[in-house]
A and B are shown apart, each in its own frame.
Chain A
Amino acid sequence: MDKSNYDIDEHISENHSHCDCGCGKLHSEHEHHEHHEHHEGCSCNYEHHHHEHEKKKECNVSISYHDQSVIASYKFDINVNELSCSNEKLGEFLLDIGRCVEALGGIIGHIKAVVCFSESGKMLSVTYDGEVSENPIEIKKVFIEGVAIVFNVDGDSLENIISESYETLKNKFNQ
């Protein structure tokens, strides 16, 4: 690099500034990806790359295997209006999984969940003036994490069963 003509602002603009498209990538990182033309109205002077933003799963299920067993570990949370109505629906969620496993000819080892209830939270904010401001907010939420260990069912099927049971549960809470 010819240091005599080196422009630090230009260097930052080209290499360390984030793309205006909101993808979270640095401009410099774009060079490593396939490029295409800007979308209309974009103020950035760089060509955009194409990349997929992976959609965050609402119900996170991971599958593992041990001996003859298939193990699904899952985590999710749901916003609810009333916490008092949660127990029956959450119990039904576990029963749902069990029924589907048995319908496929599987054997239930156990299906367990730990459920945490929240009625309130707070918003914390820092604006670089040396202090953290906070505001209480009402958040009614259930946090669920659990494990299903079953036999004679393949991992993909178990993952689908849990994801579908989660959708059913979510719909019940949204009714």
Chain B
Amino acid sequence: MKILILGGFLGSGKTSVISQIAKRVIGEGNEPDKARVVVIENEIGEVGIDNQVLGANGYKVENMFSGCICCTMGGEIADNVKRIQNDISPELIIIEASGVGYPFNIKENILKALDVRCKICCVIDAKRWRRLIVPMGMILKDQLREVDIIIVNKTDLVDESEIKYVTDTAKEFNASAEYFYASATQGLNDEIIGKLLGE
């Protein structure tokens, strides 16, 4: 079983990326095997939104609301992963961090309790990055910490120079990650999905 932790600031497009990955893993035939992927949705509000979006597409979604699995609900995430592993045994668990959560902390919380393969991907909103980088700089920096893959998303909404600015400034926070560029609502290419799935 693989675990993919998907982080990124609020509105960066995490749920759109998850839809693409889940669709690839379960297949698109007449009888897709939806139990092959379980999505754990963490939202800090009392009302869940993304779980309803993913659930409406038929994906198996486990909800963790009203707290953050990188800190206040740190103990519960490992328990939930363990339970899903025992009860469902999916091929892939995708953990969607809240938009203010820190993916590396989530990875640490899981690895404290479980011996599993865990990869972190972070999604960046190319359109809002410049606007957020000063007031939200600390959050953005910590969200990119120890991330394996960075998807610069919404590239269809900005020009080349803006993509270069986003890449250059993001690399000041994390230079070792692999960078990919996408518009998740229009679909992720095979190379990106392959990387995310460790193929």
- Please report A residues at the B interface, Cβ cutoff 8 Å: 62, 64, 66-69, 71-75, 107, 109-110, 112-114, 145-147, 149, 151-152
Contacts and interface: CB of A to CB of B under 8 A. Distances in A.
A110 B47 contact: no
Contacts of B11: 109-110
Given A66-B100, A110-B99, A112-B49, A147 B43 contact: yes
A73 B139 contact: no
Given A109-B9, A109-B11, A110-B10, A149 B45 contact: yes
B66 interface: yes
B196 interface: no
Contacts of B47: 73-75, 114, 145-147
B114 to A, nearest CB: 25
Contacts of B99: 109-110, 149
B144 to A, nearest CB: 16
A64 B44 contact: yes
Contact of A107 (B43, B45, B135): B135
A contact patch SS: strand
B contact patch SS: loop
Given A109-B11, A149-B99, A66 B132 contact: no
B121 interface: no
B139 A68 contact: yes
Contacts of A145: 47
Range of interface residues on chain B?
20 to 34
Given A64-B45, A107-B136, A149 B10 contact: yes
- Which of B47, B49, B66, B139 lies at the interface centre, i.e. has the most chain A CB atoms within 10 A of its CB? B47
Nearest to A68: B139
B118 to A, nearest CB: 23
Nearest to B10: A109
B136 A151 contact: yes
Given A146-B47, A146-B49, A149-B44, A64 B135 contact: no
Contacts of A110: 10-11, 99
B159 interface: no
Contact of A109 (B49, B52, B72, B100): B100
B68 interface: yes
Nearest to A106: B135
Interface string B36-70: 00000001111101001000000000000010100
Given A64-B66, A109-B100, A69 B49 contact: no
Interface string B106-132: 000000000000000000000000001
